Amino acid sequence: MEGKKKAAFVDIIVVGFAMFAVFFGAGNLIFPPYLGMMSGEKWILGFLCFILADAGLAISTVLVMIRGDGSISAIVGRLGRKASWLISTISMLCVGPLICIPRTAATTYEMGMLPLVPGFNSWVFAGLFFAVVYILTIRPSGVVDVIGKFLTPMMIVTLAVLFIKGIVTPIGDIGSQLEGINVAREGFLAGYQTMDVLGALAITLVVVANAADRGYAGKRERFTLISKASIVAVAGLFIVYGGLTYLGATTSLLELGGINQAGLVVTVTQLLLKRFGVIMLALIVTFACLTTAIGLVSSSAEYFSALTGGRVRYGRMVFIMCLAGFAISNVGITLIIEIATPVLNVIYPVLITQVFLGFFTEKITNDNVFRGAAAGSVLICILGVAADFGAPFAFVHKLPFSSIGFYWLLPAIAGGAIGALIRKK
């Protein structure tokens, strides 16, 4: 009996570390320090709002998926076969080959490689990056072990060095919040902007398959393993995001001009560790992006292989994902974000509405509630994106909760209410 308990504990830790690593991509690295700098002495409030919007939404997505069959259909299945397929496929294209996978390589190149080796060829770097990703991803059952047992501990050690130095010898005193800043709003908005619900879709597909390989075949056993592993992941995110927010707060009295989020991370590491800080930052970014890329490539390959009915095997699909990431990553992170933003601004609110309703799926018997909520959020978000491009729909950004990016919330509620009035066929 004790052997089984020990094995279960090890599984929980390894799976939890893997989930933590995929959620903590390099994109997430840049938000907490900047939030801390703006929040000053109120950095704890900003951090708590950030962790709620980031890890809270992500873990909610995981729980809804594993309460169901562990697939994306557990989130969007009530929308109907065609709509479910469309949203699932668009989501996996975003989280996979078109946006998130190439962004990991582009971020590593710009934040990790260029500060160390200016002028290094981006095509060569992307080739090396995705060669490593391919080698570590080609065996699906080993993905969680590679991330959870090896890469995540190395990333945690490098972050610990940075945090300990920042606590022992702080960069400076912590000042007041920036004038005109609503700390709670900024924290919540930053957490929302990480869009980790997409990462949750990806990592859940991987850990569900891994749980089966570990012998957790039953739904209840799988739920127990992954829900406990989620606690490990959240604990890790809590410590890391808290440390990063604190480091940013210690720069609140410095005159840094119009420094951006990525620039602040570079500045913090250099102030704390001098030239060694550049190396440390390169290691942190590399480990963060590599673990995220491995998780995303694996989940995307699993999804699209299944979509073809197994005609394109997992190994070949991994190669296709890496090849697409290699090609697209070289357009640069700025252009990737510009292209991704309109698509994500439409698809992300739909996923959040379905995650929330998913907690009540047994009590809501009318599928039209799910469909109405999705339709309300999609329509208003399309108008919002059009307004961003100059269309005369600026009113959407004056709707309630628009200051935290939730201008779609009331239309989604209205759509769900209308759907409830439509009798189920």
Residue with the bigger pLDDT between 87 and 139: it is: 87
In a domain? residue 2: no
| Residue 27 confidence (pLDDT) | 67
Mark which of 290, 315, 330 sits at the end of a domain. Answer: 330
Confidence check: pLDDT of 84 > 60: yes
The answer on 277 and 355 residing in a single domain is no
pTM of the shown model = 0.87
Mean local confidence (pLDDT), 248-262: 86
Residues 199, 340: Cα–Cα separation, whole Å: 15
Residues 170 and 205 in one domain: yes
Residue 234's domain is classified under what CATH number? 1.20.1740.10
The answer to whether 355 and 64 are in contact (CB under 8 A) is yes
How many helices (H) and strands (E) would you count in the chain?
19, 0
Number of domains in the chain: 2
> Is 294 within the bounds of a domain?
yes
The pLDDT, as a whole number, for residue 6 is 42
For residue 396, give its domain range. 334-425
Mean pLDDT of the region 305-326: 93
C-beta neighbour count of 424 within 10 angstroms? 10
Mean pLDDT of 10-21: 90
List, for residues 359-409, the tens digit of each pLDDT value. 999 899 999 999 999 999 999 999 999 998 888 898 998 999 887 778 999
Nearest to 377 by CA among 339, 405, 398: 405
How long a stretch of residues is the chain? 425
Same-domain status, 315 and 421: no
pLDDT at 2: 42
Residue 26 pLDDT exceeds 80: no
Sheet strands (E) in 144-185: none
- pLDDT of 3 higher than 60: no
Token pair belonging to 213: 């390989």
What pLDDT is recorded for position 172? 92
| Residue at which a domain ends, from 330, 353, 375 | 330
pLDDT of 332: 73
pLDDT of res. 5: 40
Shared domain for 32 and 167, answered yes or no, is yes
**What residues contact residue 384 under an 8 Å CB cut-off, 6+ apart?**
345, 393, 396, 397, 407, 408
State which of 330, 353, 383 marks the end of a domain.
330
Instruction: Judge whether residue 127 has pLDDT over 70.
Output: yes
pLDDT bin (cut points 50, 70, 90) of residue 4 is: very low
Q: What is the C-alpha to C-alpha distance for residues 121 and 137, in angstroms, rounded to an integer?
A: 24
Kindly state whether residue 372 falls inside one of the protein's structural domains.
Answer: yes
Please compute the mean of the pLDDT values over residues 210-232 and round it to a whole number: 87
pLDDT > 70 fraction of the chain, expressed in percent and rounded: 97
Q: What is the mean pLDDT of residues 328-340?
A: 79
C-beta of residue 200 within 8 angstroms of C-beta of residue 92: no
Average pLDDT over residues 85-112: 89
299 and 415 belong to one structural domain: no
Cα separation, 298 vs 144, whole angstroms: 10
* Per-residue pLDDT, 1: 39
The pLDDT value given to residue 246: 96
